[in-house]
Structures are given as C-alpha cells and as structure tokens.
Structure 1
C-alpha cells in the first residue's frame, strides 16, 4: 500500500514539475491500462456467456443411481467450443423457498464435470448428495447447481 501511494505521489510530482515529458507518457500508460482492462472484461463476459449456454440439471433419482450417489446430473454443452473443465456447488431448496438447505461444509463433496465435453455433447452421471440441514428429506427438495466455474478451449 505504501509503495502504491509513493508511486502516485512521485507521478504527481513529475507531472507538475515536468509536464511536457510526463503528460504524453501518462496518456500512453493510461491508454495501455485501459486496453488491458477492456481485454479482461471481454474475457470475463465471454466466459459468463459460455457458462450460461450450459444446461445443467440435477435430480434426486435413487431408482436410477446407486445408493451412495443418488443425485443424477445431466449436462448439455450448448456452446460451439468444447468444455475443458467445470466445477460447481449443489444447492437444495424447498419448493417456493429461497433458503439454501444444503450445508456447504469443508467436508462436503466437490462436484466436477466430465473433463472435456465436446460442443453439443451430453453427459450424465450420479453424484453424492450434499449434507442437508436436519429435518429435510431429499425427495421434497429441488437441487440446483450454483457458483459454476469452468473453462473452454479456444
């Protein structure tokens, strides 16, 4: 923090003392930083749009899955590029409620996608249940994937 303050004060002194030399360099620096900022924002928006095109559904399906992994996940990659990596957290909600009933503890299972999933491809698997708050049964809850983080190939 002190280094940043020192750099700003030094830049202001140079700008006041040598305006003919410092002003063009300051404009070039500002232009370069603006380009880097725009590039980062563009990449972030592109990734958010690609994650929005993924169709990820979670269902409690003990009849279709093993007893230790009763949560069925279906993933459809609606992008034009392959999905390289995907991870998320599972949230559980009572119908019509907004309180997350899944306990996201450190010991809770980590949910990851299939690895590489080609454009337009589908993937299904069974996953373990997250720990739920006491008094709630999984049959009565809606499960959603939240905090998606992923990467796509270029």
Structure 2
C-alpha cells in the first residue's frame, strides 16, 4: 500500500515538473494498461461463453439410477476443445417458481466431472441429491447446474 502511494506521488511530481517527457510516457503506460485490461475482459467473456454453451440436463430418474443416487445428469461438450475440469452446484426448483429449494450451507457439495470430456462427447451418470428443504418431494422438482467453474484444454 505504501509503495503504491509513493509511486503515485512520484509520478505526479514528475508529471508536473517534466510534463514534456512524462506525459508521453504516461499516455503510453495508460494505453498498455487499457490494452491489457481489454484482453483480460475478452478472454473472460470467451471462457464464460464456452461454459454457457455446455448442455447440462438434470432430472430425477428412479428408472435409470439407483436409489442412493437418483439424480440423472447428461453433459454434452459442443466445443472444439476438450473439457479438462468442471465443477458445479445443483439448485432445485418447483416448476414455475423462483425459490431455490436446496438447503444452503457453507459446506454444500460441489459436483465435478470425474474425467476430461472430449470435444463433441456426452457424459452421463447418476448423482446423489443435494439436501432439500423439508416438505418437498425430490421427484416433483426441476434441477439446474449453477456456479459452473471449468477449464478447457489449452486455455
């Protein structure tokens, strides 16, 4: 913190004392910082678009899944790159409602992809249900994957 204050004061003194030399350097440094910030924002938006393009289907399915893991998941990677890692949380909703019915605790489980998912491939599995609020039947709820955090190959 102190170093930043000293640096800012020194820059201001140099700008006031030697404006013909300090102003072009300051503008060049500002342009470099703006370019770097723009590049980082572009990469972040591109990464988020890749995560949003994943097709994740969750449903309560006692036919295909065992009783201790009744939540069926299907994850399709339409990207041209392998999905190396993916973590997510699950939310449950009554159809047409907007209240998350998963009990929110500090230690809510994060689900993750067990192995990398190649480009254009689909992964299917059965997952355990998250802890739901009392009074709701798991079979009558809609499920969504939220808080996606992933890494694509060569990223």
- Which interval holds the TM-score relative to the shorter structure? over 0.9
Q: Which runs of 5+ in 1 are unaligned?
A: none
8 Å contact from structure 1 (residues 81, 118) kept in 2: yes
Superposed counterparts of 1:20-59, under 5 Å = 20-59=20-59
Q: Which residue does 2:14 correspond to in 1?
A: 14
Instruction: State the alpha-carbon separation in 2 of the partners of residues 66 and 106 from structure 1.
Output: 27
* Per-residue CA distance 1:5-51 (angstroms, 9 max, x = gap): 33323211211111122112211211211121111111101101111
8 Å contact from structure 1 (residues 109, 128) kept in 2: no
Instruction: State the alpha-carbon separation in 2 of the partners of residues 9 and 122 from structure 1.
Output: 56
1:2 Cα deviation (Å)? 4.2
- CA RMSD in angstroms, aligned pairs only: 1.4
Matched residue count: 154
8 Å contact from structure 1 (residues 92, 101) kept in 2: yes
Q: Which residue does 2:81 correspond to in 1?
A: 81
Superposed counterparts of 1:97-112, under 5 Å = 97-112=97-112
Q: TM-score when scaled to structure 1?
A: 0.93
Q: Which residue does 1:152 correspond to in 2?
A: 152
Instruction: State the alpha-carbon separation in 2 of the partners of residues 7 and 18 from structure 1.
Output: 16
Task: Name the SS for the 1:56 alignment partner.
Answer: strand
Q: Which residue does 2:131 correspond to in 1?
A: 131
Instruction: State the alpha-carbon separation in 1 of the partners of residues 134 and 2 from structure 2.
Output: 49
Instruction: State the alpha-carbon separation in 2 of the partners of residues 34 and 107 from structure 1.
Output: 39
Task: Name the SS for the 2:4 alignment partner.
Answer: helix
Task: Name the SS for the 1:46 alignment partner.
Answer: helix
Instruction: State the alpha-carbon separation in 2 of the partners of residues 6 and 59 from structure 1.
Output: 58
8 Å contact from structure 1 (residues 86, 113) kept in 2: yes
Q: Which residue does 1:67 correspond to in 2?
A: 67
Instruction: State the alpha-carbon separation in 1 of the partners of residues 76 and 138 from structure 2.
Output: 24
Task: Name the SS for the 1:49 alignment partner.
Answer: helix
1:106 Cα deviation (Å)? 3.2
